[in-house]
Amino acid sequence: MPTVSVKRDLLFHALGRTYTDEEFDELCFEFGLELDEITSEKDIISREQGDTKAEGASDVILYKIDVPANRYDLLCLEGLVRGLQVFKQKMEAPRYRRVSPASSEPQRLVITEETTAVRPHAVAAVLRNITFTQERYDSFIELQEKLHQNVCRKRTLVAIGTHDLDTISGPFTYTAKPPGDIRFKPLNQAKEYTAQELMSLYKTDSHLRHYLHIIEDEAVYPVIYDSNGIVLSMPPIINGDHSKISLNTKNVFIECTATDLTKAKIVLDMMVTMFCEYCEEPFTVEEAEVVYPDGRTCQYPVLYPLTITLHESTEHIAQLLTKMCLRSEVMSDGEQIEVEIPPTRSDVIHACDIMEDAAMAYGFNNIPRTTPRTYTIANQLPLNKLSELLRQDLAAAGFTEALTFALCSQEDIADKLLKNISETRACRISNPKTAEFQVARTTLLSGLLKTVAANRKMPLPLRLFEISDVVLKDESKDVGARNNRRLCAVYYNKSPGFEVIHGLMDRVMQLLEIKPGQGNGYHIQAADDSTFFPGRCAEIFACGKSIGRLGVLHPDVINRFELTMPCSALDIDIEHFL
Amino acid sequence: MADTGLVETLLQRVEKVDGGLDSQDVATSLGVDHQAIVGAVKSLQALGDVISAEQRSSKHWELTGEGCEIAEQGSHEARVVSSIPEEGMPQSQLMVERLEDLVRDKLLLVQKGQASQLEEKEKNELKKRKLLSEVTVKSYWITKGSCFSTTITKQETELTPEMIASGSWKEKKFKPYNFEAMGVALDCGHLHPLMKVRTQFRQIFLEMGFTEMPTNNFIESSFWNFDSLFQPQQHPARDQHDTFFLSDPAQAHEFPQDYLERVRKVHSEGGFGSQGYKYDWKIEEAQKNILRTHTTAVSARMLYKLAQQEKFTPVKYFSIDRVFRNETLDATHLAEFHQIEGVVADFGLTLGDLMGILHQFFNKLGITKLRFKPAYNPYTEPSMEVFSYHEGLKKWVEVGNSGMFRPEMLLPMGLPEGVTVIAWGLSLERPTMIKYGINNIRELVGHKVNLQMVYDSPVCRLDS
């Protein structure tokens, strides 16, 4: 969930009243926000870097507010205030308009064929006669960063560039060139670099180095020029220094380059709708024309409201929706409501999204609670029912239940149990952060032995069991793997206690109503298994099928799990008994 | 048992006095070690109220070894002086006069038991010189008890089969038990606390008429885990940072083809009343195998299966099982945890129904004060976070997540229009940690568990 930090007093000023922290927290809760933290720049610095560094830092109170991940329109002070003011019915939801420039042709951005290989989409717009103050300027920069981190997916999907239009002249060209051929003075640097040099320069930049991978290995890099060959930006890495905006900038050219056109349109709409209120004519945005390699042209920003018809009707619902920036009108037939979705609400894609807003405006907690009349009979999953019953009786037999991880290292299920990984049928994880998550377990035994190792201080004997799932590769399943429910138990003491673990096995068979004997009964017979001490391992057969093993563990296994005492173990597949 | 002779002698002495006796005095007058008398007192006390003995302590000063030597032979200084022959050294006449040996005099006073004549300062001075030490003496003030008698009967420790057979228990006196002591620790097995809580949650769902879903498939395709839930392919949850992907088996094959096509369409083009996400949906992304990040993947499979029935029937489903996240680990987060999930599908279920059923569910956990916050979740709309009022913390804390599944998820499955599905979820670990007062999740889950904690954990009643 993205967090937006705003200056409290600025926020209250914009909202036209002050709130206590509790009142504001309550307002956030109703609106689906969360007042996460009340802090100040000074607090943040002193927490992160120590009190000495914090001296002189601003102690203006900051509200950190958690915003739902799909509400890009609430990522800056301007949007938050607009949303809350409309919600509190202090203002009407603005209508955003796209306008043509008064006296000239619209700005043009020409996309060349070369971009197809690396970053094929671009959209643009102009904010005309805007007035920045320090706060507005900071918020403008901050919103770009917020969008980059969220909807732009760390600039992979979309990258935003903003420019002082009066320092450059159109038409602009969006093209792609080999890195050696791109040369310009990047933002806040003193001299010119080639694109190659920039990539190595930014290798150590704590902020920019995270974006280099997006184009690093491409043959050509995206770049935007003005009609005089001045570089506006090399997306998605850095803008040029020449066209950078300042507090005095009056006209802003905004371009968004992208690998996903839908997202680029949304991002551009967000940038312009949030800040066009500071234009000379508020809530208007000057269009720009994008020319495609095939000669097609398109006007941006889109800004068209979407209209969705709700098959619900009451005047009340329409009023509620209007509170959520969704202009709504009951249609003449009185049966339906027409809802206008502004460009700021890219999260609304279905009538159900609108109904949620109506419910929020009404207040979730004002909705009467009802009991569904759905009549059903409960059933337990037979496998879980059996597991639950066996667990109770294993504890009654004096064994203590362990709960071990389903993920482990390859070593745990192979080397340490003296097995070859190829015979385990283990499923392998491709992106583990540490060795603890290399594979899904194929046996419960290693987890139990690790539990014993972590509890060596406890009085002997240790009697542990677990009934849980292991995972095995299985070609016959749609995903190529299946779970298998196992019962595993260990007895750890000064003597191996084979008779104890054998007795437990007899007890389990008794619980499952299987009598000793061949055929439909159960019996054990000597088996070879590298995990066990030679001559001390037996295979268990029930109803003619092999269901598991028991025996005394091999001393090398004991050692590899850093244990010192003899240990016997039982491992059976209980899915046979369903 | 102390020497019976001594015990009897002690009892006779106690009988003869009117008030009581000091055990030290008895020891001195009998010429036995004080400890022997203490032993006799203890064994008499064990017989019940034969005597009563009150412990006393007194302090007195005693000479140390060196102190005794000085008391006997004079202080070191005096001895030096006295050892110089009269005709001795040339200076002797100048130096020596007959010394008054003050140190010795003081020590002799103490030895005679007249230490009280010395001032505190003097005693402390001598103590510093290690000539005196202060000794604490413990003794008993012994008086007659309510069952005083000079003869003692031997007490039996335990009832035996012979006593029952012969009836001899009637004449015997039994040694009283020490009810202060703990009983013997039993040699028994124990269930794991997290699993005890799981059993209770399972019970609650069964009481509410919910059927258990088959969640025994940790490995899931991205298709069922994300795509079928209308979670777009660029969603951050599908990142390498958040999800465990598999390299073997890396891909799932076999999907219901017509359903897969409807899912592709609703993502990339929209439909079923939705604008869709309008991006290039790739089958390759959907095929990627992962460790499921939520049990909702199973709910999706179950709802799809339900939609294939000839006639729709309402269902209530639940599951409690493991899910996996490739997240940063800390004291409350592990790479795997248990998710509790409840799902109800029927015609015309409302948000009011969801809140009603959540009330009933949390009531069974002993949580009565609930409120709901609008939230965002890619596959539910509306989505609500569930908060409960925590009496201890005096604030609202999040206890779960809930919502109504989106039409973009349900309609492509083939569920009839008008069927709504409400669902909620929470983790099993969090309520368990609160219930059992555990701060570090590793003490609860995994091999580093503290077995003593498992042995000691009480039964689980969630509503009390």
pLDDT reading at B281 higher than 90? yes
Measured CA to CA, the distance from residue B2 to residue B24 in angstroms comes to: 17
Query: Is beta strand A284-291 parallel, antiparallel or unpaired with respect to A107-111?
Result: parallel
Q: Which residue has the higher pLDDT, B176 or A232?
A: A232
Measured CA to CA, the distance from residue A210 to residue A37 in angstroms comes to: 28
pLDDT reading at A327 higher than 80? yes
Q: How many CB pairs under 8 A join A and B?
A: 265
What is the average per-residue pLDDT within B4-19?
A: 79
pLDDT score of B2: 54
Closest partner residue to A369 (CB to CB) among B277, B359, B378 is B359
Q: What single-letter amino acid sits at B46?
A: A
Q: Is A407 helix (H, G, I), strand (E, B) or coil?
A: strand
pLDDT score of B87: 67
**Do B356 and A371 lie within an 8 Å CB cutoff?**
yes
**Do A306 and B449 lie within an 8 Å CB cutoff?**
no
Q: Please report which confidence band the pLDDT of residue B97 belongs to, taking 50, 70 and 90 as the band edges.
A: low
Q: Please report which confidence band the pLDDT of residue B79 belongs to, taking 50, 70 and 90 as the band edges.
A: confident
Q: Percentage of residues in chain B with pLDDT exceeding 70?
A: 95
**Do B289 and A29 lie within an 8 Å CB cutoff?**
no
What is the average per-residue pLDDT within A384-393?
A: 97
Q: Which residue has the higher pLDDT, B75 or B159?
A: B159
Q: Which residue has the higher pLDDT, A255 or B85?
A: A255
Q: To the nearest whole number, what is the mean pLDDT of chain B?
A: 87
Measured CA to CA, the distance from residue A155 to residue A158 in angstroms comes to: 5
User: Which of A555-564, B250-259, B430-439 shows the lowest mean pLDDT across its residues?
Assistant: B430-439
State how far the alpha carbon of B377 is from the alpha carbons of B41, B257, B384, B424, in Å. 77, 27, 9, 12
pLDDT reading at B114 higher than 80? no
Quick one: which H or E segment has residue A309?
strand A306-310
pLDDT score of A414: 94
Q: What is the DSSP letter of B114?
A: -
Q: Which residue has the higher pLDDT, A7 or B90?
A: A7
pLDDT reading at A397 higher than 90? yes
pLDDT score of A428: 96
pLDDT score of B187: 87
**Do B189 and A453 lie within an 8 Å CB cutoff?**
no
What is the average per-residue pLDDT within A76-99?
A: 91
Give the ipTM of the model, two decimals please.
0.87
On whether any CB of chain A is under 8 Å from the CB of B287, the answer is no
CA angle B10, B15, B16 (to 5 degrees): 100
Measured CA to CA, the distance from residue B350 to residue B332 in angstroms comes to: 34
pLDDT digits (tens, 9 = 90+) for A24-49: 999 999 898 999 889 888 888 888 88
pLDDT score of B1: 46
The C-alpha of A190 sits at a distance from chain B's nearest C-alpha, in angstroms, of 37
Window 431-460 of A, Cβ < 8 Å to B: 431-433, 436-437, 440, 447, 450-451, 453-455, 458
- Which residues of chain A make contact with B202, given a CB cutoff of 8 A? 380, 384, 388
pLDDT digits (tens, 9 = 90+) for A45-56: 888 887 777 777
What is the average per-residue pLDDT within A448-473?
A: 95
User: Which of A175-179, B29-33, B114-118 shows the lowest mean pLDDT across its residues?
Assistant: B114-118
Window 317-376 of B, Cβ < 8 Å to A: 322, 324, 326, 334-336, 344, 346, 349-353, 355-357, 359-360, 371-376
pLDDT reading at A137 higher than 90? yes
**Do B291 and A401 lie within an 8 Å CB cutoff?**
no
Q: Please report which confidence band the pLDDT of residue B86 belongs to, taking 50, 70 and 90 as the band edges.
A: low
- Which residues of chain B make contact with A428, given a CB cutoff of 8 A? 246-248
Q: What is the DSSP letter of A183?
A: E
Measured CA to CA, the distance from residue A258 to residue A155 in angstroms comes to: 8
What is the average per-residue pLDDT within A407-423?
A: 94
**Do A369 and B355 lie within an 8 Å CB cutoff?**
yes
pLDDT digits (tens, 9 = 90+) for B257-279: 999 999 999 999 999 989 999 99
From the number of C-beta atoms within 10 Å of its C-beta (0-12, 13-18, 19+), residue A366 rates as exposed
Window 368-427 of B, Cβ < 8 Å to A: 371-376, 378, 381-384, 404, 406-408, 422
State how far the alpha carbon of A294 is from the alpha carbons of A110, A113, A117, A159, B95, in Å. 11, 8, 15, 23, 129
Asked, as a colleague might, if the bond just before B382 is cis with ω within 30 of 0, I would say yes
Q: Please report which confidence band the pLDDT of residue B85 belongs to, taking 50, 70 and 90 as the band edges.
A: low
On whether any CB of chain B is under 8 Å from the CB of A20, the answer is no
SS3 content of chain A, % helix, strand, coil (to 5): 35, 30, 40
pLDDT reading at B149 higher than 80? no
Evaluated on CA atoms B77, B82, B85, B90, the torsion sign reads positive
Instruction: Say what angle helices B4-16 and B34-45 make with each other, to 10 degrees.
Output: 80
Task: Please state the pTM of the whole predicted model.
Answer: 0.81
pLDDT score of B205: 97
Tokens of A545: 């099928």
Q: What are phi and psi of B344, to 5 degrees?
A: -125, 130
pLDDT digits (tens, 9 = 90+) for B194-215: 999 999 999 999 999 999 999 9
Q: Is A402 helix (H, G, I), strand (E, B) or coil?
A: coil
Q: Please report which confidence band the pLDDT of residue A433 belongs to, taking 50, 70 and 90 as the band edges.
A: confident
Largest CA distance in chain A: 100
**Do B188 and A71 lie within an 8 Å CB cutoff?**
no
Window 65-84 of B, Cβ < 8 Å to A: none
- Is residue B84 a contact partner of residue B96, using CB atoms and an 8 Å limit? yes
pLDDT score of A46: 82
pLDDT score of B92: 52
